[in-house]
């Protein structure tokens, strides 16, 4: 579904991403783990078209998408849930969800997808007319995920979904990520909480100062003494 090959990204003279190569296959949950500032969000933003790489190739379903607009990338089937949720304050929960479907014309299918979102996040249905900024952090994360799902993505990019959440909400969010995957959505998950990310993933990549330094099945990474010490608190 996604192939990132020899991607380099600069911020001015600083090389933030250094010839990164990895892939995400259809139906997988793949985790990208690493410390703060390692380059995880930069990679997601490059896939989404929010940042233009200096060099390299990003392919979606074997078609190059570098230099494609973010709007066209969303229309093609890639949607991102940004770090920090970024719900639209001053707009209701319902209006926020509807923004997720702004490129779609298939009204009947949008309604079906809305019902699926309500099934996954029943709290949102209870609060449809509530201002999004008055929701708790966990509820805003659910809203951001629901909004992304309304674009009907084939690939969902999740940036730090557990950030700032209470343990109970983290467990709930990750259960929902697994449900979304089971319905056939391919997921690239960026997460500092490496253990919980790998526990639901098929495979993982470890990024350090802009470079991929380790990769393998999720279980291989969980079992690695080196990864345990560096990222999993072992």
Q: Is the pTM of this model over 0.85?
A: yes
Confidence at residue 234, expressed as pLDDT on a 0 to 100 scale? 52
Q: Residue 50 corresponds to which tokens in the numbers above?
A: 């929010």
Angle at 36 between CA 3 and CA 194, to 5 degrees: 70
Query: What percentage of the chain has pLDDT greater than the value 70?
Result: 99
Extract the tokens encoding 233.
Answer: 């608190």
CA atoms within 13 A on the CB side of 156: 31
pLDDT tens for residues 67-122? 999 999 999 999 999 887 788 889 999 999 999 998 888 888 889 989 999 998 99
- 117-153 pLDDT, tens digit per residue, is 999 899 999 999 999 999 988 899 889 999 999 999 9
Mean pLDDT of the chain: 92
Tokens linked to 10: 């600069």
Domain ranges, ordered by start, for the chain? 2-231
Query: Class for domain 2-231, per CATH?
Result: alpha beta
Residue 172 has a CB neighbour count (10 Å cut-off) of 17
Alpha-carbon distance of 76 to 68, in angstroms, equals 10
């Amino acid at each position: 579904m996604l192939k990132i090959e020899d991607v380099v990204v600069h911020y001015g003279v600083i090389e933030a991403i250094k010839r990164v190569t990895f892939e995400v296959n259809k139906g997988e949950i793949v985790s990208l783990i690493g410390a703060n500032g390692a380059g995880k969000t930069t990679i997601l933003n490059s896939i989404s078209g929010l940042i233009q790489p200096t060099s390299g190739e990003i392919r979606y379903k074997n078609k190059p998408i570098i230099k494609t607009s973010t709007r066209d990338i969303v229309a093609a089937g890639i949607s991102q849930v940004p770090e920090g949720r970024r719900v639209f304050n001053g707009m209701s929960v319902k209006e926020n969800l509807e923004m997720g479907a702004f490129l779609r014309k298939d009204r009947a299918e949008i309604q079906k997808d809305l019902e699926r979102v309500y099934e996954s996040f029943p709290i949102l249905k209870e609060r449809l007319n509530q201002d999004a900024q008055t929701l708790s952090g966990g509820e805003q994360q659910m809203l951001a995920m629901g909004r992304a799902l309304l674009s009907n993505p084939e690939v969902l990019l999740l940036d730090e979904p557990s950030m700032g959440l209470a343990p109970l909400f983290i467990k709930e969010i990750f259960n929902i990520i697994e449900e979304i995957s089971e319905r056939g959505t391919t997921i690239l998950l960026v997460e500092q909480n490496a253990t919980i990310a790998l526990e639901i993933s098929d495979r993982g990549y470890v990024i350090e100062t802009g470079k991929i330094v380790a990769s393998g099945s999720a279980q291989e990474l969980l079992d690695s003494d080196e990864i345990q010490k560096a990222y999993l608190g072992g």
